[in-house]
Chain A
Amino acid sequence: MIDSEKIASDFPILKRKINNNNLIYFDNAATSQKPIQVIESITNFYTSTNANIHRGVHTLSMEATNLYDRAKERVAEFINSTDSESIIFTRGTTESINLVAETWGRANLDENSEIVITELEHHSNIVPWQELIKETNSKLKYIPINNDGTLDLSNLDQIINSNTKLVSITHVSNGIGTINNIKNIIKQAKDVGAITLIDAAQSAPHMPIDVNDLECDFLAFSGHKLLAPTGIGVLYGNKKLLEEMPAYQKGGDMILEVTYQKSSWADVPFKFEAGTPNIAGAIGLKSAIEYLMNLSMAEIRNHEIEITEYAYEQMMNINGIEILGPENIDERAGLISFNIPGVHPHDLGTFLDSKGIAIRTGHHCAMPLIKKLGSHSSARASFYIYNTKKEIDKFITEINNSMKYFNHV
């Protein structure tokens, strides 16, 4: 059982007043806030352990290396991977997906190849493939969505076929919160010999992830959405594939041997981590994952089901509201995208901000999706471990007030 009020006390920023109101932070799908434990892990690193990793024989370097390596072990544990060498640190989900596109993609796709994604994707899982198909003359296909924002899998047999080389899909839609049944899609992809990539940016922070059970080849997520600092992210990869893939960026730390004529690469995962990595970020990520695992990812999901259902039921009572995405809570993560009559999302966002409530407004980096659902923008409230029903009560009250304010009712 999650005690949100107790958890909130670990987050210094949640004590802040915004426009003379207590901050209610409902923009967690954009980024999460950071607990003091994570903040202190970074401060402690810089005040007592800072050094470069994997290259010094002095005490600080060994301690920093140890912390960095343990961060990988913790990430592996977090997604139930048995091998921390399958974990590559990146800047975030976007870089993780680009890494796969630019290495595996360039090496393995040709004019007969097809990449399959869905209509739910974040721009970061659309744009790299749009660029890659131009270079490789391959094709990009989309699994369509139903009106309720769930995937229409009725023609999956035709969409994923013998030409499919890669299926890259989001686990949870950042735009409307749909949870996809990725296990079935991964199975179908494997049946035709395709590689699979899961964008777990919106799922890894909120529910248990098990790469062993999913049997995906790649899985990407960002640290900053799960209590860690910005600029650190993860690409999990099937070790055999990682070993076969060409290097990504080239330079220091990723080499085995360099002569004036040629170079050879270090083993996986270092082959993919050129230059000094974000060591402090990795240490912050380790601390964040420990914080989450201590709460239990299953309990976090239960908490989000409870408050999302609570919010959804109350929001449905708002006259004329349109909620995007699935009605069934089992198919919806802890976020609600919506539009209310007579109040543009940007006006609602500014109004709620004046009450201390932070939500996201706009297209949520999923322009084609929001457009397909018949809109240019929506308001989005997204919840996390520190959010409470009391906060949702105030949120609902202020949505109603905004309608009076803007419509002069």
Chain B
Amino acid sequence: MSNYNKLGFVYKKEILDRSIKPGFDKLISNADKLITGLNPFCGDEVKYHINLKENILTNIYLEVEGCAIHKASSSFLSDVIINEKVLEVQSMCEEFISYFNKNNDENKQFKNDKLNIANPLLDIKSNQIRIKCVLLSWNTMHNNLFSKNQ
């Protein structure tokens, strides 16, 4: 099944599983922060409802619509940032985004071990057109975690 293997290079089992069950589906009624992102070109959409306690993301409720890669990526991000300090979340998002934006095929070792949760997404770097599906949630989180409006 060489073709399925090829497809599996992008759609790893963890990605397919998380696309069906992204998790973080317990409603938060008193969110301290709502972070939303949308790619109007394809309809990928994400909403993170977040509880913050002493600058730590203590609880996340994830609403996500769109393609399998975006849904899985939003789910991975939730696992990466839960129980982390806001500053650390910023730093991890930067590191993850920069891996996809650099042309060289650099070592996939992240400084922060927790980012390795998202490793199944890394091979999507070879599929230029789908990188935006991986990064929508990460860019959204990175750009808006400090924003007062969100």
- Tell me whether A and B are bound partners: yes
CA A408 – CA B3 in complex, angstroms? Answer: 17
A93: chain B residues within 8 A (beta carbon): none
A376: chain B residues within 8 A (beta carbon): 40-43
Q: Who on chain B is nearest to A371 by CB?
A: B40
Stretch from A150-158, A253-261, A327-335, A348-356 at the B interface: A348-356
Q: Who on chain B is nearest to A345 by CB?
A: B42
Q: Who on chain A is nearest to B71 by CB?
A: A344
Q: Which of B2, B42, B67, B133 has the most CB of A within 10 A?
A: B67
Answer yes or no: B93 CB below 8 A from chain A CBs.
Answer: no
CB distance from B75 to the nearest CB of A (A): 15
Q: Which of B10, B41, B43 has the most CB of A within 10 A?
A: B43
CB distance from B94 to the nearest CB of A (A): 26
B6: chain A residues within 8 A (beta carbon): 19-20, 354
Answer yes or no: A203 CB below 8 A from chain B CBs.
Answer: no
B10: chain A residues within 8 A (beta carbon): 350
A355 touches B130 (CB 8 A): no
Interface size on A, residues (CB 8 A): 22
A344 touches B67 (CB 8 A): yes
A407-B20, A408-B16 known; A20 vs B2 contact (CB < 8 Å): yes
CA A392 – CA B74 in complex, angstroms? Answer: 35
Residues 375-409 of A, flagged 1 when their CB comes within 8 A of B and 0 if not, give: 11100000000000000000000000000011110
Q: Which of B2, B16, B68, B69 has the most CB of A within 10 A?
A: B68
CA A407 – CA B130 in complex, angstroms? Answer: 20
Answer yes or no: A40 CB below 8 A from chain B CBs.
Answer: no
CB within 8 Å of A: which B31-58 residues: 40-43
B41: chain A residues within 8 A (beta carbon): 362-363, 367, 376-377
CA A51 – CA B40 in complex, angstroms? Answer: 46
Answer yes or no: A322 CB below 8 A from chain B CBs.
Answer: no
CB within 8 Å of B: which A307-356 residues: 344-347, 350-351, 354-355
B67 touches A347 (CB 8 A): yes
Answer yes or no: A21 CB below 8 A from chain B CBs.
Answer: yes
Main secondary structure of the interface of B (DSSP, over half): helix
Q: Who on chain A is nearest to B5 by CB?
A: A354
A377 touches B3 (CB 8 A): no
A362: chain B residues within 8 A (beta carbon): 41-42
B3 touches A354 (CB 8 A): yes
CB distance from A366 to the nearest CB of B (A): 12
B4, B43, B69: which contacts A347 (Cβ < 8 A)? B69
A21 touches B3 (CB 8 A): yes
Answer yes or no: B147 CB below 8 A from chain A CBs.
Answer: no
CB distance from B13 to the nearest CB of A (A): 10
Q: Who on chain A is nearest to B68 by CB?
A: A347
A377 touches B2 (CB 8 A): no
B69: chain A residues within 8 A (beta carbon): 346-347
Answer yes or no: B29 CB below 8 A from chain A CBs.
Answer: no
CB distance from A56 to the nearest CB of B (A): 44
CA A376 – CA B41 in complex, angstroms? Answer: 7
CB distance from A350 to the nearest CB of B (A): 6
A-contacting residues of B (Cβ < 8 Å)? Answer: 2-4, 6-7, 10-11, 16, 19-20, 40-43, 66-70, 127, 130, 133
The 4 closest A-B pairs by CB, nearest first: A376-B43, A344-B67, A354-B7, A346-B67
Q: A354-B4, A405-B11 are in contact. List 10 more A-B contacts (CB 8 A).
A: A20-B2, A344-B67, A344-B68, A345-B67, A347-B69, A350-B7, A350-B11, A376-B41, A376-B43, A406-B68
Sampled A-B contacts (28; CB under 8 Å): A19-B6, A21-B3, A344-B43, A344-B66, A344-B68, A345-B67, A347-B68, A350-B7, A350-B10, A350-B11, A351-B7, A354-B3, A355-B3, A361-B42, A362-B41, A362-B42, A367-B40, A367-B41, A375-B43, A376-B40, A376-B43, A377-B42, A405-B7, A405-B16, A406-B16, A406-B19, A406-B68, A408-B16
